[in-house]
Amino acid sequence: MDDLFNFGAPSNSVAVLPSELRGDSAAPAQQYSSRRELREAEARRGTAVAGPVEPTVQVAAPAQQAAPSLVQAASAEPSRRRGAESRQGPVQQQQARQPLQQGRKQRKLKASERRALQASAPPQQRKNPLNVLATMAVVGGMFAVAGLPAYALQTPENTAATKSDASAQSVVVSSDASLATPTRDGYHATTYEQLAQMEDDAQREANQAAYLASGARALGDDYPWPYELRDYQGGGLSPLNYYYRECVDFVAWRLNRDAGYYAAPYKWVWSNLTPSGGNASQWRYNWEQHGWPVSTTPIVGSVAWFYGNHVAYVKSVNADGTVTIEEYNYSSNGTYGQRTIPASSVPAFLYPPPS
């Protein structure tokens, strides 16, 4: 076969076929070990039956002409094989198919062996996701069943029996029974006004504690409202109609005390003491309007009047030409205090109103 595809120098070789490929029925059938050998033998046998091989002379041809001859040889091979099979006898065809059947049986056996090995192999370590999901669903269902309320397990028969027992009972109400009058409990909502009052009371307590700690009582302060809220704290007017813990309210209190009025109704209030204006700067003008004495000579119980919108009460007149005064809110802190100052530093002394 190699000489047929030799494209070298020309040669006069003649193909001689073996005796088993000559189509001789007397020749014994040969056994083949593979399907490939069988096909090659059939191809040779078909060539032998076609007729004697004439001597051929091969002529060298260019390399590009070799491809068509190869295609023609390949296409002619199946037709030669079919012609050879048609010329064989039944016995020879059966004998030729035996090696093929044995090969198929061997391949089937190998496939069954592979399946057996796969079946005997240990399972893979990787878990199947479907198995994991199924396990989680089962565990969740167990917890859900455990959390069901007790009445969910009640059967319809038990429910019907319970309703019948309840309907069978009867309640008798005595004619002497009376409806209970609903009463309100001791709790109530706190209003905005009440909250404001609570805050004011807390501030008064703080003011009282600060006043007691100052020692003003020991110095001689007798002002009745030292704990009250000042104007900026939300406080209002005192019974004398001046703002609490201001200098004018304290001096008005002292004029009432000296006149013998310790409680309401007071003799001197804003309307009859300083009707032309309640500020400290307006007190001298009010005294002059009333026709009450105004002097530069201090006396005990007089009002020390200052240009800086401030008034004080003269407690004592000293021999050294000084005066001791009592006052509230001198430092704008709403507290009681005392000072000893030269009498000449006071612009005017307003004598007490006549009784």
With 60 as the cut, is the pLDDT of residue 208 above it?
Answer: yes
Torsion of CA 140, 145, 148, 151, to 10 degrees: 170
What pLDDT is recorded for position 189? 79
**Mean pLDDT over residues 63-80, rounded?**
47
Query: Measured between alpha carbons, how far is 105 from 116 in angstroms, rounded to an integer?
Result: 16
Q: pTM, whole model, 2 decimals?
A: 0.49
Whether residue 151 is contained in a domain is answered as no
Average pLDDT along the chain: 76
Q: What is the DSSP string of 154-218?
A: --HHHHHHHHHHHHH------TT--PPPP---S--PPPHHHHHHHHHHHHHHHHHHHHHHHTHHH
**How many domains, the chain?**
2
CATH number at residue 257: 3.90.1720.10
Whether residue 263 is contained in a domain is answered as yes
Contact 159, 151 (CB under 8 A): no
Whether residue 61 is contained in a domain is answered as yes
Which of the four pLDDT bands, split at 50, 70 and 90, describes residue 18? very low
pLDDT digits (tens, 9 = 90+) for 217-248: 999 999 999 999 999 888 999 999 999 999 99
Say if residue 225 is in the same domain as residue 104. Answer: no
Rounded to whole angstroms, what are the CA distances from 206 to 199, 200, 201, 203, 216? 11, 10, 9, 5, 16
Sequence-separated (6 or more) residues with CB below 8 Å from residue 187: none
Rounded to whole angstroms, what are the CA distances from 53 to 17, 48, 72, 333? 9, 8, 18, 145
Whether residue 169 is contained in a domain is answered as no
Whether residue 34 is contained in a domain is answered as yes
What pLDDT is recorded for position 133? 77
Whether residue 205 is contained in a domain is answered as no
What pLDDT is recorded for position 122? 58
Say if residue 104 is in the same domain as residue 225. Answer: no
**Residue at which a domain ends, from 88, 108, 128:** 108
Of 47-51, 320-324, 336-340, the one with minimum mean pLDDT is 47-51
Whether residue 155 is contained in a domain is answered as no
What pLDDT is recorded for position 147? 58
What pLDDT is recorded for position 74? 46
Query: Measured between alpha carbons, how far is 74 from 81 in angstroms, rounded to an integer?
Result: 11
Query: Measured between alpha carbons, how far is 355 from 350 in angstroms, rounded to an integer?
Result: 15
**Residue at which a domain ends, from 108, 126, 150:** 108
**Residue at which a domain ends, from 108, 139, 161:** 108
More confident residue, 301 or 152: 301
**Mean pLDDT over residues 34-50, rounded?**
71
More confident residue, 224 or 26: 224
Contact 279, 287 (CB under 8 A): no
Range(s) of the domain holding residue 9:
3-108
Whether residue 230 is contained in a domain is answered as yes
Point out which residues pair with 259 in neighbouring strands: none
pLDDT digits (tens, 9 = 90+) for 89-123: 555 666 666 666 666 666 665 666 667 666 665 55
Question: How many other CB atoms sit within 10 Å of the CB of residue 168?
Answer: 7
With 80 as the cut, is the pLDDT of residue 196 above it?
Answer: yes
Which of the four pLDDT bands, split at 50, 70 and 90, describes residue 60? very low
For 49-102, what is the HEC assignment? HHCCCCCCCCCCCCHHHHHHHHHHHHHHHHHHHHHHHHHCCHHHHHHHHHHHHH
The dihedrals phi and psi of 221, each to the nearest 5 degrees, come to -75, 130
Percent of the chain at pLDDT exceeding 90 = 43
